[in-house]
Amino acid sequence: MVPLWMYLAVAAALFSLGVFGVLARRNAVAILMSVELMLNAVNINLVAFWRYSETGTDLLLNGYAFTAFVLIVAAAEAAVGLAIIITVYRNRRSVIPEEATALKG
């Protein structure tokens, strides 16, 4: 068996990659993809914790079900996020978040 901390280490690396992408990428679609990476890093953690600690206790399915809900949130986030990007692009011909400043005070 693979020890728990190795799963967590991979998840941490994936999360950091996502953080880097969100901070450094200029393109809104690329930023959204980086957010998906971060969400998946979280999912690895949830399932790993579920497998290594939870199945022995009474709370049989918390991590499992929670991962499924995170998946749903990720899907909803991608759908709405991309729709916003498409609309902003249609109105301003740009996909760079810094340039969408219509609501800036």
Partner 1 sequence: MELNAVTIGFAVFTIFTLGGGFGVVTTRNLFQGTIWLMVSLFGVAGYFILLSAPFLAAVQILVYIGAIAILITFAVMLTRSVTRIKVRYIRLLPSFIGSLLVFLILLFGITVPIFGGQLPEAAPQTVASTRDLGAALVSEHGYVVPFMLASVLLTGAMIGAIFIARDEKA
Partner 2 sequence: MNVLHEWAFIGVFAILAPVFPALPIVIARLFRPRKPNALKSSTYECGVETIGDTWVQFRVQYYIYGLIFLVFDVEMVFLFPWAAAYNEMSLFGFVAGFLFIFLLTDALFYAWKKNALDWK
Count of beta carbons in the 10 Å neighbourhood of residue 11: 20
In the complex with partner 2, the residue whose CB is nearer, 59 or 84, is: 84
Stretch that binds partner 2, among 28-36, 42-50, 70-78, 91-99 (CB under 8 A): 70-78
∠ Cα 59 60 62 (to 5°): 70
- The token pair that represents 62 in the structure block: 């918390």
Q: Which of 19, 60, 64, 62 has the alpha carbon at shortest distance from 37?
A: 19
To partner 1, the closest distance from the beta carbon of 57 in angstroms equals 9
User: Quick one: what does residue 53 bind among partner 2, partner 1, none, with the CB cut-off 5 to 8 Å set by partner type?
Assistant: partner 1
Residue numbers of the site for partner 2 (CB under 8 A)? 68, 71-72, 75-76, 78-79, 82-83, 86, 90
